[in-house]
Amino acid sequence: MAKINKEDRKKQIMDTALKLFSKEGFFEVTMADIAKELHMSVGNLYNYFNSKDALAKELILYISKHLAEEIRKINMMQITSKEKIRKIVDFYFHTAKERPEFIEYFLRIYLSNREVFKHGCEGMICVSPFVTEIMVFFEEGVRNGELRNQDFFSAFGLFMGYLGGMVFLMGEGLLPNDIEFYSQEISENIYRSLKNES
Amino acid sequence: MKAKIIWLQGVTCNGNSHSFLNLPSLASLLQQFEFLYHPLFPSPLQLMDLHTADFDILVVEGGLKQGWKKGDKDLYELFFHLAQKAKKIVAVGSCAVFGGVFKEFDPTITGVLFDKTKKSKLYEHFFNKTVNIPGCPAHPEWIAFAIENDSFSLDEYHRPKEIFAFTVHSGCTRNEYFEWKVDAKSFGTKEGCLFYEQGCQAPFTHGSCNRILWNEINSKTRSGTPCFGCTEPTFPKTGLFHTKTYMGIPANMPLGVPKRAYLTITGIAKSFQIPRLTRKLIDEN
Protein backbone atom coordinates (compact mmCIF):
# COMPACT_ATOMS: atom_id res chain seq x y z
CA MET A 1 0.00 0.00 0.00
CA ALA A 2 1.38 3.40 -0.96
CA LYS A 3 2.51 5.43 2.02
CA ILE A 4 0.35 8.48 2.60
CA ASN A 5 2.35 11.71 3.05
CA LYS A 6 2.09 13.87 6.15
CA GLU A 7 0.16 16.72 4.55
CA ASP A 8 -2.47 14.38 3.12
CA ARG A 9 -2.75 12.62 6.45
CA LYS A 10 -3.24 15.97 8.17
CA LYS A 11 -6.01 16.85 5.75
CA GLN A 12 -7.62 13.49 6.36
CA ILE A 13 -7.56 14.13 10.12
CA MET A 14 -9.12 17.55 9.67
CA ASP A 15 -11.88 16.28 7.41
CA THR A 16 -12.72 13.51 9.87
CA ALA A 17 -12.60 15.82 12.88
CA LEU A 18 -14.85 18.30 11.09
CA LYS A 19 -17.45 15.65 10.43
CA LEU A 20 -17.36 14.39 14.01
CA PHE A 21 -17.50 17.85 15.56
CA SER A 22 -20.41 18.98 13.41
CA LYS A 23 -22.31 15.75 14.11
CA GLU A 24 -21.61 15.25 17.82
CA GLY A 25 -20.57 18.71 19.02
CA PHE A 26 -17.11 20.04 19.82
CA PHE A 27 -17.02 19.18 23.53
CA GLU A 28 -18.46 15.70 23.10
CA VAL A 29 -15.78 14.55 20.69
CA THR A 30 -12.41 13.62 22.17
CA MET A 31 -9.04 13.22 20.48
CA ALA A 32 -9.46 9.48 21.13
CA ASP A 33 -12.74 9.47 19.18
CA ILE A 34 -11.04 11.12 16.23
CA ALA A 35 -8.11 8.69 16.36
CA LYS A 36 -10.50 5.75 16.53
CA GLU A 37 -12.45 6.92 13.53
CA LEU A 38 -9.18 7.18 11.59
CA HIS A 39 -7.87 3.82 12.81
CA MET A 40 -4.79 5.47 14.22
CA SER A 41 -3.34 5.64 17.71
CA VAL A 42 -4.06 8.64 19.91
CA GLY A 43 -0.33 9.11 20.32
CA ASN A 44 0.10 9.35 16.59
CA LEU A 45 -2.75 11.85 16.33
CA TYR A 46 -0.93 14.06 18.81
CA ASN A 47 2.02 14.07 16.41
CA TYR A 48 -0.16 16.11 14.09
CA PHE A 49 -2.02 18.31 16.59
CA ASN A 50 -0.76 18.75 20.12
CA SER A 51 -4.19 19.53 21.58
CA LYS A 52 -7.86 19.61 20.67
CA ASP A 53 -7.73 23.42 20.84
CA ALA A 54 -4.83 23.48 18.38
CA LEU A 55 -6.85 21.27 16.06
CA ALA A 56 -9.87 23.54 16.47
CA LYS A 57 -7.84 26.57 15.38
CA GLU A 58 -6.31 24.79 12.40
CA LEU A 59 -9.80 23.77 11.33
CA ILE A 60 -11.22 27.27 11.25
CA LEU A 61 -8.17 28.47 9.34
CA TYR A 62 -8.57 25.55 6.92
CA ILE A 63 -12.24 26.41 6.30
CA SER A 64 -11.50 30.11 6.03
CA LYS A 65 -8.79 29.50 3.41
CA HIS A 66 -11.04 27.19 1.43
CA LEU A 67 -13.90 29.72 1.35
CA ALA A 68 -11.47 32.57 0.61
CA GLU A 69 -9.96 30.77 -2.38
CA GLU A 70 -13.35 30.37 -4.00
CA ILE A 71 -14.49 33.92 -3.29
CA ARG A 72 -11.19 35.22 -4.57
CA LYS A 73 -11.88 33.49 -7.90
CA ILE A 74 -15.25 35.24 -8.01
CA ASN A 75 -13.63 38.58 -7.10
CA MET A 76 -11.21 38.23 -10.00
CA MET A 77 -14.04 37.78 -12.54
CA GLN A 78 -14.90 40.70 -14.80
CA ILE A 79 -18.57 40.73 -13.81
CA THR A 80 -20.87 43.09 -11.90
CA SER A 81 -21.25 43.07 -8.13
CA LYS A 82 -24.80 41.82 -8.63
CA GLU A 83 -23.48 38.81 -10.52
CA LYS A 84 -20.79 38.28 -7.90
CA ILE A 85 -23.41 38.21 -5.14
CA ARG A 86 -25.23 35.46 -7.00
CA LYS A 87 -22.01 33.48 -7.42
CA ILE A 88 -21.06 33.86 -3.74
CA VAL A 89 -24.55 32.78 -2.63
CA ASP A 90 -24.48 29.81 -5.01
CA PHE A 91 -21.07 28.77 -3.80
CA TYR A 92 -21.97 29.17 -0.12
CA PHE A 93 -25.19 27.15 -0.40
CA HIS A 94 -23.52 24.54 -2.53
CA THR A 95 -20.80 24.15 0.10
CA ALA A 96 -23.44 23.97 2.84
CA LYS A 97 -25.08 21.12 0.95
CA GLU A 98 -22.02 19.20 -0.16
CA ARG A 99 -19.72 19.90 2.79
CA PRO A 100 -22.18 20.88 5.56
CA GLU A 101 -19.50 20.33 8.18
CA PHE A 102 -17.58 23.34 6.82
CA ILE A 103 -20.36 25.80 7.44
CA GLU A 104 -21.65 24.02 10.54
CA TYR A 105 -18.23 24.24 12.14
CA PHE A 106 -18.04 27.94 11.43
CA LEU A 107 -21.53 28.66 12.77
CA ARG A 108 -21.88 26.19 15.63
CA ILE A 109 -18.36 25.82 16.90
CA TYR A 110 -16.27 28.83 15.93
CA LEU A 111 -18.93 31.48 16.57
CA SER A 112 -20.50 29.74 19.58
CA ASN A 113 -17.39 28.71 21.52
CA ARG A 114 -15.30 31.84 21.51
CA GLU A 115 -13.37 30.75 24.61
CA VAL A 116 -11.77 27.91 22.62
CA PHE A 117 -10.42 30.44 20.13
CA LYS A 118 -9.39 33.11 22.61
CA HIS A 119 -5.66 32.51 22.28
CA GLY A 120 -4.13 32.36 18.83
CA CYS A 121 -7.40 33.13 17.09
CA GLU A 122 -8.10 36.55 18.58
CA GLY A 123 -10.66 38.69 16.82
CA MET A 124 -10.78 37.72 13.19
CA ILE A 125 -7.25 36.36 12.82
CA CYS A 126 -8.27 32.80 11.94
CA VAL A 127 -11.00 33.89 9.53
CA SER A 128 -8.89 36.69 8.06
CA PRO A 129 -8.47 35.10 4.58
CA PHE A 130 -12.24 34.84 4.19
CA VAL A 131 -13.05 38.27 5.64
CA THR A 132 -10.36 39.86 3.45
CA GLU A 133 -12.04 38.53 0.30
CA ILE A 134 -15.45 39.76 1.44
CA MET A 135 -13.84 43.16 2.10
CA VAL A 136 -12.34 43.19 -1.39
CA PHE A 137 -15.75 42.31 -2.83
CA PHE A 138 -17.47 45.18 -0.99
CA GLU A 139 -14.70 47.70 -1.60
CA GLU A 140 -14.70 47.10 -5.35
CA GLY A 141 -18.49 47.31 -5.49
CA VAL A 142 -18.49 50.69 -3.75
CA ARG A 143 -15.54 51.93 -5.80
CA ASN A 144 -17.31 51.16 -9.07
CA GLY A 145 -20.48 52.84 -7.80
CA GLU A 146 -22.63 49.72 -7.75
CA LEU A 147 -22.89 49.31 -3.98
CA ARG A 148 -23.72 51.88 -1.31
CA ASN A 149 -20.90 53.18 0.85
CA GLN A 150 -21.59 52.19 4.45
CA ASP A 151 -19.95 50.74 7.52
CA PHE A 152 -18.32 47.43 6.65
CA PHE A 153 -19.86 45.41 9.47
CA SER A 154 -23.38 46.57 8.66
CA ALA A 155 -22.98 45.14 5.18
CA PHE A 156 -20.98 42.10 6.28
CA GLY A 157 -23.55 41.20 8.94
CA LEU A 158 -26.39 41.51 6.49
CA PHE A 159 -24.71 39.36 3.88
CA MET A 160 -23.20 36.64 6.05
CA GLY A 161 -25.96 36.70 8.66
CA TYR A 162 -28.55 36.03 5.98
CA LEU A 163 -26.57 33.16 4.49
CA GLY A 164 -25.71 31.75 7.90
CA GLY A 165 -29.35 31.93 8.95
CA MET A 166 -30.46 29.96 5.91
CA VAL A 167 -27.82 27.30 6.46
CA PHE A 168 -28.88 27.10 10.11
CA LEU A 169 -32.51 26.56 9.08
CA MET A 170 -31.36 23.92 6.63
CA GLY A 171 -29.35 22.18 9.35
CA GLU A 172 -32.39 22.12 11.61
CA GLY A 173 -34.48 20.61 8.82
CA LEU A 174 -36.82 23.59 8.83
CA LEU A 175 -36.51 24.63 5.19
CA PRO A 176 -39.43 23.41 3.07
CA ASN A 177 -37.21 23.31 -0.04
CA ASP A 178 -33.66 22.45 -0.92
CA ILE A 179 -31.40 25.35 0.08
CA GLU A 180 -30.37 26.02 -3.53
CA PHE A 181 -34.03 26.67 -4.34
CA TYR A 182 -33.62 30.03 -2.53
CA SER A 183 -30.42 31.22 -4.24
CA GLN A 184 -32.06 33.51 -6.79
CA GLU A 185 -34.40 35.29 -4.33
CA ILE A 186 -31.76 35.63 -1.66
CA SER A 187 -29.20 37.03 -4.11
CA GLU A 188 -31.80 39.53 -5.23
CA ASN A 189 -32.61 40.54 -1.63
CA ILE A 190 -28.96 40.98 -0.74
CA TYR A 191 -28.29 43.02 -3.86
CA ARG A 192 -31.30 45.27 -3.25
CA SER A 193 -30.24 45.99 0.28
CA LEU A 194 -26.63 46.76 -0.67
CA LYS A 195 -26.98 48.57 -3.97
CA ASN A 196 -26.26 52.23 -4.44
CA GLU A 197 -29.53 54.02 -5.10
CA SER A 198 -28.14 57.52 -5.65
CA MET B 1 34.25 82.19 -7.83
CA LYS B 2 30.76 81.85 -6.44
CA ALA B 3 28.06 80.35 -8.61
CA LYS B 4 25.38 82.91 -9.41
CA ILE B 5 21.70 82.45 -8.76
CA ILE B 6 18.62 84.25 -10.01
CA TRP B 7 15.50 83.57 -7.95
CA LEU B 8 12.47 84.37 -10.06
CA GLN B 9 8.94 84.55 -8.70
CA GLY B 10 5.89 83.66 -10.76
CA VAL B 11 2.40 83.53 -9.27
CA THR B 12 3.24 82.90 -5.64
CA CYS B 13 2.52 83.72 -2.01
CA ASN B 14 6.26 84.05 -1.13
CA GLY B 15 5.99 80.94 1.04
CA ASN B 16 9.01 79.22 -0.45
CA SER B 17 11.14 82.32 -0.06
CA HIS B 18 10.18 82.52 3.59
CA SER B 19 10.90 78.83 4.00
CA PHE B 20 14.31 79.27 2.37
CA LEU B 21 15.17 82.17 4.68
CA ASN B 22 14.76 79.73 7.58
CA LEU B 23 17.59 77.56 6.28
CA PRO B 24 19.87 77.07 9.32
CA SER B 25 22.93 76.86 7.07
CA LEU B 26 22.02 79.88 4.94
CA ALA B 27 25.23 81.73 5.88
CA SER B 28 27.33 78.82 4.71
CA LEU B 29 25.35 78.48 1.48
CA LEU B 30 25.94 82.17 0.79
CA GLN B 31 29.69 81.48 0.98
CA GLN B 32 29.34 79.35 -2.13
CA PHE B 33 26.53 81.05 -4.02
CA GLU B 34 25.69 84.62 -4.82
CA PHE B 35 22.11 85.72 -5.34
CA LEU B 36 22.19 88.15 -8.25
CA TYR B 37 18.50 88.64 -7.78
CA HIS B 38 16.01 87.70 -5.11
CA PRO B 39 12.86 89.75 -4.71
CA LEU B 40 12.89 89.63 -0.89
CA PHE B 41 16.47 90.35 0.06
CA PRO B 42 19.11 92.83 -1.07
CA SER B 43 20.68 91.75 -4.34
CA PRO B 44 22.76 93.57 -6.96
CA LEU B 45 20.30 93.25 -9.84
CA GLN B 46 16.72 94.32 -10.26
CA LEU B 47 13.97 92.67 -12.27
CA MET B 48 14.56 94.98 -15.23
CA ASP B 49 18.26 93.98 -15.39
CA LEU B 50 17.73 90.25 -15.57
CA HIS B 51 17.46 89.95 -19.34
CA THR B 52 21.20 90.51 -19.79
CA ALA B 53 22.39 88.85 -16.58
CA ASP B 54 25.15 86.28 -16.64
CA PHE B 55 24.33 83.54 -14.14
CA ASP B 56 24.36 79.79 -13.43
CA ILE B 57 21.25 78.64 -11.57
CA LEU B 58 17.67 79.75 -12.09
CA VAL B 59 15.41 79.15 -9.09
CA VAL B 60 11.72 79.49 -9.85
CA GLU B 61 9.06 80.01 -7.20
CA GLY B 62 5.38 80.20 -8.12
CA GLY B 63 3.26 79.10 -11.04
CA LEU B 64 3.74 80.28 -14.62
CA LYS B 65 1.10 81.94 -16.74
CA GLN B 66 1.46 83.29 -20.24
CA GLY B 67 0.96 87.03 -20.45
CA TRP B 68 1.26 87.51 -16.67
CA LYS B 69 3.20 90.67 -15.85
CA LYS B 70 5.27 91.77 -12.91
CA GLY B 71 6.35 95.40 -13.14
CA ASP B 72 6.61 95.84 -16.88
CA LYS B 73 7.99 92.38 -17.45
CA ASP B 74 6.13 89.50 -18.98
CA LEU B 75 7.20 86.86 -16.46
CA TYR B 76 6.61 83.91 -18.77
CA GLU B 77 8.83 85.39 -21.47
CA LEU B 78 11.46 86.37 -18.95
CA PHE B 79 11.40 82.88 -17.50
CA PHE B 80 11.77 81.31 -20.96
CA HIS B 81 14.71 83.56 -21.79
CA LEU B 82 16.50 82.90 -18.49
CA ALA B 83 15.70 79.20 -18.52
CA GLN B 84 17.46 78.84 -21.87
CA LYS B 85 20.58 80.47 -20.45
CA ALA B 86 20.58 78.66 -17.08
CA LYS B 87 22.86 75.70 -16.44
CA LYS B 88 20.33 74.34 -13.95
CA ILE B 89 16.73 75.17 -13.09
CA VAL B 90 15.37 74.51 -9.63
CA ALA B 91 11.58 74.73 -9.37
CA VAL B 92 10.70 75.25 -5.70
CA GLY B 93 7.26 74.76 -4.22
CA SER B 94 4.20 73.00 -5.54
CA CYS B 95 3.11 76.00 -7.65
CA ALA B 96 6.38 76.01 -9.64
CA VAL B 97 6.33 72.21 -9.90
CA PHE B 98 2.69 71.34 -10.60
CA GLY B 99 0.69 74.59 -10.70
CA GLY B 100 -0.26 74.35 -7.02
CA VAL B 101 -2.81 76.39 -5.12
CA PHE B 102 -3.17 79.27 -7.59
CA LYS B 103 -4.11 76.86 -10.33
CA GLU B 104 -7.36 76.24 -8.44
CA PHE B 105 -8.33 79.82 -9.26
CA ASP B 106 -6.82 79.99 -12.74
CA PRO B 107 -6.45 76.66 -14.58
CA THR B 108 -4.08 78.22 -17.15
CA ILE B 109 -1.37 78.47 -14.48
CA THR B 110 1.13 75.59 -14.70
CA GLY B 111 4.37 74.46 -13.16
CA VAL B 112 7.60 74.58 -15.14
CA LEU B 113 7.62 70.98 -16.36
CA PHE B 114 4.21 69.81 -15.19
CA ASP B 115 0.61 70.86 -15.30
CA LYS B 116 -0.61 68.69 -12.43
CA THR B 117 0.34 65.20 -13.68
CA LYS B 118 0.64 66.17 -17.37
CA LYS B 119 3.82 67.42 -18.98
CA SER B 120 3.67 71.14 -19.69
CA LYS B 121 4.49 72.89 -22.94
CA LEU B 122 7.87 73.75 -21.49
CA TYR B 123 8.78 70.15 -20.69
CA GLU B 124 10.60 69.36 -23.90
CA HIS B 125 12.67 72.53 -23.62
CA PHE B 126 13.88 72.18 -20.07
CA PHE B 127 13.39 68.62 -18.83
CA ASN B 128 17.10 67.87 -19.01
CA LYS B 129 18.17 70.60 -16.61
CA THR B 130 15.24 71.03 -14.21
CA VAL B 131 15.05 69.68 -10.67
CA ASN B 132 11.66 69.81 -8.97
CA ILE B 133 11.31 70.46 -5.24
CA PRO B 134 7.59 70.47 -4.50
CA GLY B 135 6.04 71.26 -1.13
CA CYS B 136 3.78 73.97 0.20
CA PRO B 137 6.18 75.40 1.04
CA ALA B 138 9.23 73.42 -0.04
CA HIS B 139 11.46 72.50 2.89
CA PRO B 140 14.51 74.83 3.08
CA GLU B 141 16.92 71.89 3.35
CA TRP B 142 15.44 70.37 0.20
CA ILE B 143 15.87 73.66 -1.67
CA ALA B 144 19.48 73.90 -0.51
CA PHE B 145 20.07 70.28 -1.53
CA ALA B 146 18.89 71.04 -5.07
CA ILE B 147 20.96 74.22 -5.30
CA GLU B 148 24.14 72.64 -3.93
CA ASN B 149 24.12 69.38 -5.90
CA ASP B 150 24.38 68.72 -9.59
CA SER B 151 23.98 65.01 -9.93
CA PHE B 152 20.54 63.67 -9.12
CA SER B 153 18.58 60.52 -9.47
CA LEU B 154 15.10 61.81 -10.29
CA ASP B 155 11.65 60.24 -10.13
CA GLU B 156 8.89 60.54 -12.75
CA TYR B 157 8.13 64.10 -11.61
CA HIS B 158 11.79 65.14 -11.62
CA ARG B 159 11.96 65.08 -7.83
CA PRO B 160 15.31 63.97 -6.35
CA LYS B 161 14.95 60.43 -5.04
CA GLU B 162 17.25 61.27 -2.14
CA ILE B 163 14.36 63.27 -0.73
CA PHE B 164 11.24 62.00 -2.46
CA ALA B 165 11.73 58.26 -2.78
CA PHE B 166 10.44 57.96 0.79
CA THR B 167 6.98 58.72 2.03
CA VAL B 168 6.24 61.24 4.77
CA HIS B 169 5.15 58.18 6.76
CA SER B 170 8.79 57.15 6.95
CA GLY B 171 10.18 58.46 10.22
CA CYS B 172 6.75 59.37 11.59
CA THR B 173 6.79 59.05 15.36
CA ARG B 174 3.25 57.66 15.24
CA ASN B 175 4.13 54.54 13.24
CA GLU B 176 3.49 52.29 16.23
CA TYR B 177 -0.11 53.59 16.33
CA PHE B 178 -0.46 53.10 12.57
CA GLU B 179 0.70 49.50 12.85
CA TRP B 180 -1.83 48.67 15.56
CA LYS B 181 -4.60 50.83 14.09
CA VAL B 182 -5.04 53.10 17.07
CA ASP B 183 -6.32 56.43 15.82
CA ALA B 184 -6.01 59.90 17.32
CA LYS B 185 -9.40 61.34 18.18
CA SER B 186 -8.35 64.97 17.77
CA PHE B 187 -5.63 67.25 16.46
CA GLY B 188 -2.68 68.41 18.45
CA THR B 189 -2.14 65.35 20.61
CA LYS B 190 1.12 63.44 20.54
CA GLU B 191 -0.65 60.08 20.64
CA GLY B 192 -2.54 58.07 18.05
CA CYS B 193 -2.37 57.70 14.31
CA LEU B 194 -3.78 60.50 12.18
CA PHE B 195 -4.60 58.33 9.16
CA TYR B 196 -8.15 57.00 9.47
CA GLU B 197 -9.91 59.72 11.42
CA GLN B 198 -7.87 62.84 10.63
CA GLY B 199 -7.13 62.30 6.93
CA CYS B 200 -3.34 62.01 7.08
CA GLN B 201 -1.86 61.39 3.62
CA ALA B 202 1.65 60.52 4.78
CA PRO B 203 1.50 56.81 3.76
CA PHE B 204 1.17 57.78 0.09
CA THR B 205 2.90 61.17 -0.06
CA HIS B 206 6.49 61.42 -1.24
CA GLY B 207 8.66 63.55 1.01
CA SER B 208 11.12 63.64 3.87
CA CYS B 209 9.25 65.81 6.40
CA ASN B 210 9.77 63.20 9.11
CA ARG B 211 13.38 62.49 8.15
CA ILE B 212 14.55 66.08 7.70
CA LEU B 213 12.60 67.98 10.31
CA TRP B 214 11.24 71.50 9.95
CA ASN B 215 13.26 74.08 11.87
CA GLU B 216 15.30 71.01 12.79
CA ILE B 217 12.75 70.01 15.44
CA ASN B 218 9.29 69.23 14.12
CA SER B 219 6.91 68.11 11.39
CA LYS B 220 3.17 68.31 10.83
CA THR B 221 2.52 64.81 12.08
CA ARG B 222 4.80 65.21 15.08
CA SER B 223 2.89 68.29 16.18
CA GLY B 224 -0.46 66.56 15.66
CA THR B 225 -1.59 67.74 12.22
CA PRO B 226 -2.19 65.29 9.40
CA CYS B 227 0.02 65.42 6.31
CA PHE B 228 -1.81 67.29 3.51
CA GLY B 229 0.09 65.61 0.67
CA CYS B 230 1.55 68.93 -0.52
CA THR B 231 4.40 67.39 -2.52
CA GLU B 232 2.09 65.54 -4.89
CA PRO B 233 0.47 66.75 -8.13
CA THR B 234 -2.93 66.09 -6.53
CA PHE B 235 -2.35 68.95 -4.06
CA PRO B 236 -4.39 70.87 -3.02
CA LYS B 237 -7.15 68.40 -2.47
CA THR B 238 -10.46 69.30 -0.91
CA GLY B 239 -11.99 67.46 2.03
CA LEU B 240 -8.89 67.50 4.18
CA PHE B 241 -9.06 65.81 7.58
CA HIS B 242 -10.94 62.90 6.14
CA THR B 243 -9.62 59.64 4.70
CA LYS B 244 -11.83 58.57 1.84
CA THR B 245 -13.06 55.04 2.38
CA TYR B 246 -15.11 52.51 0.48
CA MET B 247 -17.08 50.43 2.99
CA GLY B 248 -14.57 51.45 5.65
CA ILE B 249 -11.56 50.46 3.51
CA PRO B 250 -9.19 53.31 2.58
CA ALA B 251 -9.54 54.35 -1.07
CA ASN B 252 -5.75 54.80 -1.26
CA MET B 253 -3.48 52.10 -0.01
CA PRO B 254 -0.12 52.97 1.57
CA LEU B 255 2.32 53.32 -1.30
CA GLY B 256 3.21 50.01 -2.95
CA VAL B 257 1.08 47.92 -0.58
CA PRO B 258 -1.30 45.48 -2.35
CA LYS B 259 -4.91 45.72 -1.15
CA ARG B 260 -5.15 42.12 0.06
CA ALA B 261 -1.90 42.40 1.99
CA TYR B 262 -3.08 45.62 3.63
CA LEU B 263 -6.51 44.20 4.53
CA THR B 264 -5.01 41.02 5.94
CA ILE B 265 -2.49 42.85 8.09
CA THR B 266 -4.89 45.52 9.32
CA GLY B 267 -7.53 42.88 10.05
CA ILE B 268 -5.05 41.07 12.26
CA ALA B 269 -3.78 44.28 13.90
CA LYS B 270 -7.32 45.35 14.74
CA SER B 271 -7.96 41.98 16.38
CA PHE B 272 -5.60 42.89 19.20
CA GLN B 273 -6.23 45.49 21.84
CA ILE B 274 -2.96 47.04 22.91
CA PRO B 275 -3.74 48.68 26.25
CA ARG B 276 -0.47 50.61 26.31
CA LEU B 277 -1.48 52.38 23.11
CA THR B 278 -5.24 52.63 23.51
CA ARG B 279 -5.04 54.49 26.81
CA LYS B 280 -3.50 57.91 27.13
CA LEU B 281 0.20 57.92 27.87
CA ILE B 282 0.45 61.62 28.71
CA ASP B 283 -2.08 63.65 30.71
CA GLU B 284 -3.86 60.50 31.73
CA ASN B 285 -6.45 62.26 33.86
Chain A: closest CA distance from residue B196 (Å):
14
pLDDT digits (tens, 9 = 90+) for B223-260: 999 999 999 999 998 888 889 999 999 999 999 999 99
Measured CA to CA, the distance from residue A9 to residue A53 in angstroms comes to 19
pLDDT recorded at residue A114 = 84
**DSSP states of B230-266 as a string?**
TTSTTPSPSSTT---EETTEESSPSTT--HHHHHHHH
Distance CA A186, CA A89 (A): 8
**Closest chain B residue by Cα to residue A139:** B246
Rounded to the nearest integer, the mean pLDDT of chain B is 95
Is residue B284 over pLDDT 70?
A: no
Q: What is the pLDDT of residue A1?
A: 54
Min mean pLDDT across A15-19, A43-47, B23-27, B268-272 is at: B268-272
Interface predicted TM-score (ipTM) = 0.82
Average pLDDT over residues B54-72: 95
pLDDT in tens, A54-94: 999 999 999 999 999 999 999 999 999 999 999 999 999 99
User: Nearest by CB to B267, which of A124, A143, A151?
Assistant: A124
CB A132 to CB B270 under 8 A?
Answer: no
Q: Which residues of A touch B268 (CB under 8 A)?
A: 123-125, 128
The share of chain A scoring above pLDDT 90, in percent, equals 78
pTM of the predicted structure, to 2 decimals: 0.87
Quick check: B247 and A125 CB within 8 A?
A: no
User: B160 - beta bridge partners?
Assistant: B154
pLDDT band of B178, cuts 50, 70, 90? very high
- 8 Å CB contact of A128 and B260: no
- Contact residues, chain A, for B246 at CB < 8 Å: 138-139, 142-143, 149
A61 touches chain B (CB under 8 A): no
* pLDDT, tens only, B103-151: 999 999 999 999 999 999 999 999 999 999 999 999 999 999 999 999 9
Q: So what's the pLDDT on residue B285?
A: 52
Model confidence at A7: pLDDT above 90? no
Q: What is the mean pLDDT of residues A85-105?
A: 94
Phi-psi region of B208 (alpha: psi -120 to 50; beta: other; left: phi over 0): alpha
Q: What mean pLDDT comes out for the span B213-223?
A: 95
Q: Minimal Cα distance from A129: which residue of B? A: B264
* Size of the A and B interface in Cβ pairs below 8 Å: 54
pLDDT at A2: 63
A123 CB within 8 Å of a chain B CB = yes
